Structure 1
């Protein structure tokens, strides 16, 4: 049996979190792992679930959900990353420099992710 380290519940965002001594975690029942990037000052806990969702809990227990695309943080609905990735896939882009003319930074990053994943 794992020993529970701490349990948090944020009523405002309805997120229940369990942290265990073995650095595993659970966010609303979804397994994950956690780290404390600022362990000395105890200001934040970063949790990544097995589904790829990332949560940051501040000292005030405010949860921020950070969306990701293929492990990279993105803003909004990640549509820029998805569009760049899809474009690179349709056009069989092999060189990351071909992504540079993209419409936005997120489009370019999505394109670059495709290139990195498909290096031969």
Structure 2
């Protein structure tokens, strides 16, 4: 009986602590996830390497035709990869913002279904 009492007390404490955790430690956790994932995506796209080597000729073609082709090919790659990075970052940002909206939306749905007096006519 004592185990049940302590379990129920711990459960009630955890339920009451959830909103506090969600908007403090949980937010810090999700923010760190956002930063780490964004940095990882930037590195996976290799944008820094592409930008660094923008003016370096590809395949050791040091004539003017090779330099022009290399420049424009790398420029297209940089633009495409940057657009991909922006899209991924926007997805990460939506997830981060959903973190704040989700609890309020869950409470809204709970209250809506609990106190809904609407009875549909068949």
Greater fraction strand: 1
Asked which structure has the greater CA Rg, the reply is: 2
Greater fraction helix: 2
Measured against the shorter chain, the TM-score band is under 0.3
